[in-house]
């Protein structure tokens, strides 16, 4: 099942990249009000620096979640920022074709279709710490991890499929 769903996601990525479209990424923050604007701005700036990313509020392919908190160091009054992040791939409607609506009662088919839209696949996570003055580099590290963990995998898969299509098409 996982292999089949990954294949469906890969084919959708190939179709999107062939059309020159960008990966749709949603940024979701859970932080205090005083950190929200600064973190959102820094992360958004770094994500917009990736040429094949479009930041979206609805219908993302990928979600970058960041949970942040401030803490004090034990030996002193210096505030530190702790940011936990995770990356997920959203299945969207990609899994719906795996469930034949002709074999399910109409109500069950609708329920399965709605459930499938809520499924996500975990792609990675981590934690970074920084001083309040070093938010930009911390956000750069998070976006670099997202780029190398999630997007590079998809870019390489798209290239491999494109190469295979060219070789098979000859």
Q: How confident is the model at residue 10 (pLDDT cuts 50, 70, 90)?
A: very low
Write down the mean pLDDT value for the chain: 81
Which residues 6+ apart lie within 8 Å of 36 measured at CB?
29
pLDDT at 101: 66
Q: Which residue range forms the structural domain that includes residue 35?
A: 2-169
**Three-class HEC string of 99-144:** CCHHHCCHHHHHHHHHHHHCCEEEEEEEEEEEEHHHHHHHHHHHHH
Can you tell me the mean pLDDT for 77-85? 85
Angle at 21 between CA 37 and CA 93, to 5 degrees: 85
pLDDT at 9: 46
Indicate if the pLDDT at residue 96 is higher than 80: no
Over range 95-102, report the average pLDDT. 65
Query: From residue 146, how far is each of 1, 4, 30, 44 by CA, in Å?
Result: 25, 24, 18, 13
Arithmetic mean of pLDDT, 54-68: 94
Residue 11's pLDDT band (cuts 50, 70, 90): very low
What pLDDT does residue 168 have?
62
pTM assigned to the model? 0.73
Q: In what order do the strands lie in the sheet with 120-131?
A: 53-55, 23-30, 62-72, 79-90, 120-131
What lies within 8 Å, CB to CB, of 60 at 6+ separation is: 24, 25, 26, 90
At 20, which CATH number? 3.40.50
Q: In the chain, how many domains are there?
A: 1
Q: Is the Cβ–Cβ distance between 90 and 63 less than 8 Å?
A: yes
pLDDT in tens, 134-168: 999 999 999 999 999 999 888 887 777 766 766 66
**Among 8-17, 43-52, 91-100, where is mean pLDDT lowest?**
8-17
Asked whether residue 95 carries a pLDDT value surpassing 70, the answer given is: no
């Amino acid at each position: 099942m996982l292999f089949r769903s990954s294949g469906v996601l890969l084919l959708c990525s190939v179709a999107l990249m062939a059309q020159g479209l960008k990966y749709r990424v949603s940024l979701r923050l859970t932080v205090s009000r005083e950190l929200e604007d600064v973190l959102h701005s820094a992360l958004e700036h770094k994500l917009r620096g990736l040429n094949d990313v479009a930041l979206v509020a609805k219908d993302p392919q990928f979600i970058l979640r960041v949970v942040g908190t401030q803490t004090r160091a034990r030996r002193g009054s210096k505030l530190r920022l702790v940011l936990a992040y995770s990356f997920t791939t959203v299945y969207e409607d990609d899994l719906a074709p795996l469930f034949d609506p002709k074999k399910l009662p109409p109500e069950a088919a609708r329920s399965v279709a709605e459930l499938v839209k809520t499924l996500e696949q975990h792609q990675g996570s981590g934690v970074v710490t920084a001083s309040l003055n070093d938010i930009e580099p911390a956000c750069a590290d998070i976006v670099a991890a997202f780029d190398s963990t999630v997007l590079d995998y998809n870019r390489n898969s798209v290239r491999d499929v494109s190469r295979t299509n060219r070789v098979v098409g000859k």
